[in-house]
Amino acid sequence: MTSAEDLRATVADQLTRARARSAALTDAVDDDDLVRQHSKLMSPLVWDLAHIGNQEELWLVRDVGGRDPVRSDIDELYDAFKHARAARPELPLLGPGEARGYVREVRDKVFDVLERTPLEGARLLDGAFAFGMIVQHEQQHDETMLATHQLRAGAPVLHAPPPPPGGPVGPPEVLVPGGPFTMGTSTEAWALDNERPAHQVVTAPFLIDTTPVTNGAYTEFIADGGYRDPRWWSPTGWEHVQSAGLTAPRFWSRSGDAWHRRAFGVTAPLDPAQPVVHVCFHEAEAYARWAGKRLPTEVEWEKAARFDPATGRSLRYPWGDDDPTPEHANLGQRHLSPAPVGAYPKGVSPLGVHQLVGDVWEWTSSDFRGYAGFEVFPYAEYSQVFFGGDHKVLRGGSFGTDPVAVRATFRNWDYPIRRQVFAGFRCARDASPEVARGAVEG
Ligand code: AVJ
Ligand code: FE
């Protein structure tokens, strides 16, 4: 059992780690760059910073702490539902200095609230959950700010060591047996509402790629005329690829026969062994059809990631129930790119699937909806307002996702045309009866 004091120390440490990352992302650029809009898809960095502070004020200072507002006059400016990202630069936002002062003032009060909030007994889940939710919220916006950095023009300002080298990955596909498994969670303390509750799902046997699709494999799709052949695209995808003029993943460029990729201001030859990143759902779907496969459903993705055939149990992570370490997965912005396939042998799932968590978010074929038994917690605007079929589910987290903000049950979502997310994909296919034989449970 975790004592209340251990929990308090863990929360304090996670708040501090998140803030160090927010500070690094916002201190890396000058004030002009902080208030500028680098892409219509993104907020100015200074909006994200004050929004992080405002959500923390709403949930921890006012709600959990019962304290007076710090700045109730700015709630409206930092309400994500009141102003679209494209309109945020025109708002009378707090300037860089004011925003930094504001988040500091809120954080000081939050540490005071944390000291005085009983985290034991019946209140443990409620009290601690609000802190966990806010830690995850800040880390999610940090990944969003990292995506803004990737869209920013100009000289590099972020630096990190390269990811570890690739390694052997075994066969290209593995068979996932048919039968039931437990999807979602009712016990993971900081799981968000859309990951709940745990429920049984039955799948047919299927094959799933051992690794995410690599740059090298993706260039073959391009070389084969994939972007010009309507056979591979859904009607919506084909319309989009033409109207948007897509010819390659975002940030790719060709010089002669060689592909290059720009990442955080540095243009370098494409690493054929790294997972492809910055593709939209339509590109992922088209590649899969070209390859004679399809995208996994999110049910299939989660089964491949969690199902342990030895026990029939669902694990917290592909490698087991232990929290992620740097040996398990490429998470936490330790590197500024996905790692080559095979770089994380300790992160492999029981069925032999690599790099499900970390490296790149993976598009699935599923629409974002609530599970049976879904209950809004703690507020409808976190996920429920996005249910309904406009968004596709992404799984597994990227190199820019902090370990506290991803689990094997974690569900991300975005519009199928979006490419600014650190998103790639892997393929799946139905198992033929011969392949499936002997793999069906029971
Ligand atoms: C889960 C990444 C889609 O950024 O829109 C941040 C997370 N929710 N603030 C988003 C979120 C509220 C969300 N995603
Ligand atoms: Fe937010």
Output the pLDDT for position 437.
77
Is residue 336 included in any domain, yes or no? yes
- The structure tokens listed for 191 are 């799981």
401 Cβ below 6 A of ligand 1: no
Q: Is 87 annotated as a binding residue?
A: yes
pLDDT band (50, 70, 90) for residue 164: very high
Q: Are residues 114 and 78 in the same domain?
A: yes
Q: Which ligand lies nearest the alpha carbon of 139? A: 1
Q: Are residues 66 and 168 in the same domain?
A: no
Q: Nearest 5 degrees, angle CA 14-CA 19-CA 21?
A: 100
Predicted confidence (pLDDT) at residue 441 exceeds the cutoff of 50: no
Count CA within 13 A, CB hemisphere, residue 278: 19
How many beta carbons lie within 10 A of that of residue 220, not counting itself? 14
Q: Are residues 225 and 279 in the same domain?
A: yes
Name, in order, each residue with C-beta under 8 angstroms of 333's C-beta and a sequence gap of 6 or more: 21, 142, 143, 146, 160, 399, 400, 402
- Atom of ligand 1 at shortest distance to CA of 55? 9
Predicted confidence (pLDDT) at residue 275 exceeds the cutoff of 70: yes
Cα separation, 341 vs 343, in Å, equals 6
Output the pLDDT for position 124.
42
Q: Are residues 144 and 288 in the same domain?
A: no
Q: What percent of the chain has pLDDT over 90?
A: 90
Is residue 104 included in any domain, yes or no? yes
Residue pair 314/306 in contact by the 8 Å Cβ criterion? yes
412 Cβ below 6 A of ligand 1: yes
Is residue 190 included in any domain, yes or no? yes
363 Cβ below 6 A of ligand 1: no
Is residue 156 included in any domain, yes or no? no
Q: What is the largest CA-CA distance in the chain?
A: 66
Counting beta carbons within 10 angstroms of the beta carbon of residue 243, is it exposed (0 to 12), middle (13 to 18) or buried (19 or more)?
exposed
- The structure tokens listed for 394 are 């992404």
Q: Are residues 385 and 247 in the same domain?
A: yes
Q: Are residues 126 and 203 in the same domain?
A: no
Residue pair 370/384 in contact by the 8 Å Cβ criterion? yes
Is residue 12 included in any domain, yes or no? yes
Q: Are residues 228 and 377 in the same domain?
A: yes
Tens digits of residue pLDDT in 178-193: 999 999 999 998 999 9
Q: Are residues 255 and 169 in the same domain?
A: yes
Q: Is 343 annotated as a binding residue?
A: no
Q: Which of 22, 47, 140 to mutate to test the pocket of ligand 1 (most atoms within 8 A of CB)?
A: 140
Output the pLDDT for position 207.
98
Cα separation, 13 vs 5, in Å, equals 12
pLDDT band (50, 70, 90) for residue 382: confident
Which CATH number characterizes residue 111's domain? Answer: 1.20.120
Output the pLDDT for position 442.
38
Tens digits of residue pLDDT in 335-350: 999 999 999 999 999 9
Which CATH number characterizes residue 219's domain? Answer: 3.90.1580.10
Q: Is 88 annotated as a binding residue?
A: yes
What's the average model confidence in pLDDT over 52-66? 95
Cα separation, 200 vs 179, in Å, equals 10
Output the pLDDT for position 119.
78
The verdict on ipTM greater than 0.90 is: yes
Is residue 216 included in any domain, yes or no? yes
Last residue of a domain, one of 121, 151, 181: 151
Output the pLDDT for position 435.
86
Tens digits of residue pLDDT in 126-158: 668 899 999 999 999 999 999 999 999 999 999
Tens digits of residue pLDDT in 307-336: 999 999 999 999 999 999 999 999 999 999
Q: Are residues 142 and 179 in the same domain?
A: no
Q: Are residues 275 and 312 in the same domain?
A: yes
Predicted confidence (pLDDT) at residue 171 exceeds the cutoff of 60: yes
Q: What percent of the chain has pLDDT over 70?
A: 97
Q: Is 414 annotated as a binding residue?
A: yes
Q: What is the pTM of this model?
A: 0.96
- The structure tokens listed for 72 are 């109730």
Q: Are residues 281 and 421 in the same domain?
A: yes
State the total domains in the chain.
2
Name, in order, each residue with C-beta under 8 angstroms of 317's C-beta and a sequence gap of 6 or more: 305, 306, 323, 324, 328, 347, 357, 407, 408
Location of structure tokens 């990951």? 195
Q: How far is the CA of 21 from the centre of ligand 2 (A)?
A: 16
Per the structure, the complete domain to which residue 338 belongs is given by 161-442
Predicted confidence (pLDDT) at residue 385 exceeds the cutoff of 70: yes
140 Cβ below 6 A of ligand 1: yes
- The structure tokens listed for 301 are 């993705």
Tens digits of residue pLDDT in 88-126: 989 999 999 999 999 999 999 999 999 998 876 434 456
Predicted confidence (pLDDT) at residue 383 exceeds the cutoff of 80: yes
426 Cβ below 6 A of ligand 1: no
Q: Whose CA is nearest to atom 1 of ligand 1?
A: 412
Q: Are residues 86 and 178 in the same domain?
A: no
413 Cβ below 6 A of ligand 1: yes
Residue pair 52/99 in contact by the 8 Å Cβ criterion? no
Q: Whose CA is nearest to atom 7 of ligand 1?
A: 140
Last residue of a domain, one of 151, 184, 216: 151
Q: Whose CA is nearest to atom 9 of ligand 1?
A: 137
Tens digits of residue pLDDT in 401-429: 999 999 999 999 999 999 999 999 999 99
- The structure tokens listed for 322 are 């232990």
User: CA nearest 64: which of 27, 11, 10, 17?
Assistant: 11
pLDDT band (50, 70, 90) for residue 257: confident
Last residue of a domain, one of 151, 170, 205: 151
Tens digits of residue pLDDT in 350-375: 999 999 999 999 999 999 999 999 99
User: CA nearest 170: which of 38, 406, 33, 348?
Assistant: 348
Q: Nearest 5 degrees, angle CA 166-CA 287-CA 407?
A: 55
Q: Is 254 annotated as a binding residue?
A: no
Output the pLDDT for position 181.
98
- Atom of ligand 1 at shortest distance to CA of 141? 6
